[in-house]
Amino acid sequence: MTNTRIALLPDRGVVKVMGEDAGKLLQGVITNDIALLQSQPAIHAGLLTPQGKILFDFFVVRVPGGFCLEAARDKTAELSDRLNLYKLRVKAEIEDTSADHTVAALWGGPYELRHDGKPPIWFADPRLPGIGFRELVTMRTDWALGGEDADTATQDDYHTHRIELGVPEGGKDYAFGATFPHEALFDQLHSVSFEKGCYIGQEVVSRMANRGTARKRLVPVVGAAELPAPGTEIVACGVTIGSLGSTAATRGLALLRLDRAAEMSSRGLSLYAGEVPVRIQLPSWAHFGFSAKELSTPI
């Protein structure tokens, strides 16, 4: 019996950025620091609008000759096109290779890589140690899901796992093009560098960090019963303070105005998602809080 679980993620795809200037191109446009890949296998990052809102989020892993970006599959073609717009005279080739890759998540215990042929791309999820590992497997690799050292799981099982840890995902917990990195916890989950040089939207992100002006954030919520559908408004005393993102039974993630949540709590008012009472549980790794102590009980 093993505690390790492995699940295919068909909603994830891959964009390749290859060539001698691939790193230079990415360093100038994404939120995280490509130099970190000298000491770790992968980074998580985003590409922003000039106004500082997230257009795409993705993992970046170094491969021979360049980089692979693992992103939401329904955004990879758009991501490839956007990077090509920024390429200008840079020596780099950008291609959506989602059709040639299978993405899997592994979590819960140890796992030994098994392959016959070209080795898969394998890395620890850099956002949070407990979330597990990722595998990007090409169609030229003989690869089987699960086996003696891992139990086969579903994509829904993986999302339940990350929801329980309080880790958001773009397109499910926040809308692309409408959310600032701090709201999506980029500053909490090692997805943005405050030391690297300029990138698109950097001025807005730095200002929010310096002034502490992130009034909205994604936080885990626990319902008294099974939570309603994603998108349901979170309400207190008739006042909407946010909305649900992804859910798994009684647990979910919600994008909330934290100042209003704290105010409602200080007045003894309960929060509701539809008809279901909910309470906020900050993850133990979060280094932000609420002014109301009762809202900051760690998971």
Q: What is the band of 266 on the pLDDT scale with cuts at 50, 70, 90? A: confident
* Percentage of the chain exceeding pLDDT 90: 73
pLDDT given for residue 291 in this prediction: 54
Overall fold of domain 215-295 = Elongation Factor Tu (Ef-tu); domain 3 (2.40.30)
CATH of span 5-165? 3.30.1360.120
Least confident of 51-55, 105-109, 229-233, 240-244: 105-109
Average model confidence (pLDDT) across the chain: 90
pLDDT given for residue 211 in this prediction: 80
Taking alpha carbons only, the member of 65, 46, 42 closest to residue 136 is 42
pLDDT given for residue 296 in this prediction: 38
Element (H, E) at 103: strand 101-107
Taking alpha carbons only, the member of 71, 285, 257 closest to residue 189 is 285
Q: What is the 3-state secondary structure (H, E, C) of 46-67?
A: EEECCCCCEEEEEEEEEECCEE
Where b means 16+ CB within 10 Å and e means fewer, 173-204 reads bbebeebbbbbbbbbbbbbbbeebeebbbbeb
Q: What is the band of 140 on the pLDDT scale with cuts at 50, 70, 90? A: low
What is the average per-residue pLDDT within 230-240? 94
pLDDT of 280 > 70? The answer is yes
pLDDT of 181 > 50? The answer is yes
pLDDT of 251 > 80? The answer is yes
pLDDT of 16 > 90? The answer is yes
pLDDT given for residue 15 in this prediction: 98
Ranges of each domain in the chain: 5-165, 215-295
Per-residue tokens: 178: 């409408």
Q: What is the band of 144 on the pLDDT scale with cuts at 50, 70, 90? A: low
What is the average per-residue pLDDT within 102-130? 84
pLDDT given for residue 206 in this prediction: 92
Residue 174 DSSP label:
B
- Strands 5-8 and 151-152, by their bridges, are parallel
In tens, the pLDDT along 64-99 reads 999 999 999 999 999 999 999 998 888 999 999 999
pLDDT of 299 > 80? The answer is no
CA distance 60 to 44: 6
User: pTM of the entire structure?
Assistant: 0.92
pLDDT of 51 > 90? The answer is yes
Q: What is the band of 33 on the pLDDT scale with cuts at 50, 70, 90? A: very high
What is the average per-residue pLDDT within 5-22? 96
pLDDT given for residue 293 in this prediction: 44
Q: What is the band of 191 on the pLDDT scale with cuts at 50, 70, 90? A: very high
CA distance 24 to 65: 13
